[in-house]
Structure 1
Amino acid sequence: MRITRSFGVIAIAIFLSTGSARLFPMRGTALAVADAATVTPNVTVEPQYDTAHVYVAPEDFDRFVASLVATFGGTTSKQGVFTVTPTPSSTMSQLVLTPVGTLSVFGFKTPVPYPFGAERTGYLVTDLDAAVQAARTTGADVLVTSFNDPIGRDAIIQWPGGVNTQLYWHTTAPSYKALQTIPENRVYVSADRATAFVASYVAFSHGRVVSDDRHARGIEIGKPGETYRRIRIESGFEKLVVFVTDGHLPYPYGREITGYEVPNLTDTLTKAKAAGVEILVAPYTADQRTSAVVQFPGGYIAEIHSVAEKPK
């Protein structure tokens, strides 16, 4: 199965790099990849149903949620205590619905079962079983097979490069407001695994690479005067940014899970500081945006940006 999956990723990578629609036979199976977007069903929903997963200590839970709403605006679901893992555990849980992205907040009252806590995002899918099979087909590992939770079913997958994502399906379909801006899932991978990660993710999400800058400005990852490779992907899930680096990253880069686009960065940072949010990286301008990196009460680190004004 591992050999089959590896050949599949190679075939998809060739397709992505050449744009060719030729068939690429894979050793040991009759399957051939004609077009990466037609290998698997499209299981995406809309971006407001994709959540950043944030784990905080129970004593920080309320302060963290309040700081999010104070910074970005929005509403919350009713807070509760649930078992959201396939093994015994107990966690406070609440959904935060902001105009710039949705967050699932967990405050475990028991030790967190492995590998929960390492997944950076949760994606709502139209069919969990189809999504899990699609993940396998496109080169991801299934770390936690499907299990029931209080409102549906879940699984955890790992993309090439070690990036974990939780997949969700709800028994009763949720209904959230559309987002004002689409958040970015910020993923750091090595040069050795970048091609495999992009191929796997694009095929699974039915997304597209919108830019691949091999000489992006290093200031974006705390290394001014240097360059690195940055890949931007868009799909029905959310925006995703791949930072291809050598791992020589100054703090806090690599710790931020999500990038949030706001109308005015200065105004948002003013609200954030008033809510107890710490500015870890002061605002700078690069790639037609002004960005900062912040840490919310409870430890959640995020990038916040707004579109930079063009010189008149």
Structure 2
Amino acid sequence: MGNSIGENKLVTIDELEELLCNLRNESENKENFTLNITHDMRSHLNVIISALQFIEHNSLNITTEKKYMNIIKRNSYKILKLINNLIDTSRLENNFYKLEKRNIDIVSMIEGTVECIEKYSLEKNIQLIFDTNKEECIVSADPEAIDRIVMNLLSNAIKFSPMDSEIFVYLNIDNENINISVIDNGKGISQEEQDKIFNRFYQCSNRSDKEYIGSGIGLDLTNYLVKAHGGNISINSVENEGSEFIVTIPRVLEEHIETVDNSISSKIQMLEIEFSDIYLSE
């Protein structure tokens, strides 16, 4: 029972060239990703070293010293954010990340997170508006993962939204799902790039705001965290009109897991790390 030559699929020259081109593009994207990560880390380390050298070689008053210590703290958080995202994305990709699920009131949790984030949006005079169709909903989820999902989506929305604008966070709960929608009126994303936006090795090419161009790993991590909850994330966007990110996770309550109160105080350092790259003032 030998294989017939006729059963083997022949690869055409065009198909082979397309395959090689895709492999080259993938390799180039991975190389660019590595370069972006290392460049970001080096830039933040250079700022830290410069600030430390300035403190070391100058007699500073309390106000000036505090300013440079804040610069050091902010850039340290930037490096920590990059490292955390890189490690956790790799762990999720390889199924090494374990969700720590609790039964939580997701309405009050997300509302509290949005309220905490408002101080960062006000740096650009951006108003965060939260609305929900339910006043309470106990659901089984990892509180830290849900926080990171919301923080990442709002961080991106704030970065790419114009001054004096609004960002809407809608929580729509039905019998089966929790739907979280984040809407901005920023630069928007082309249809072609929407298909690639959750790939860590891809960055949007239409970003004119160079200050906020990063590694692109945040949305990739968000996508993994949503999928780890059995959910999905999608995007609706029109260039120059804005974007809507929609997260949908199953509405599940597990009786064997305790119900906990997710404290706002536990989010403070996480917020400072996540939003370390969008301060407008030191």
**Which structure would you say has the larger RCO, counting Cα contacts within 8 Å and 6 or more residues apart?**
2
TM-score (norm 2): 0.26
TM-score (norm 1): 0.24
Which protein shows a greater Rg? 2
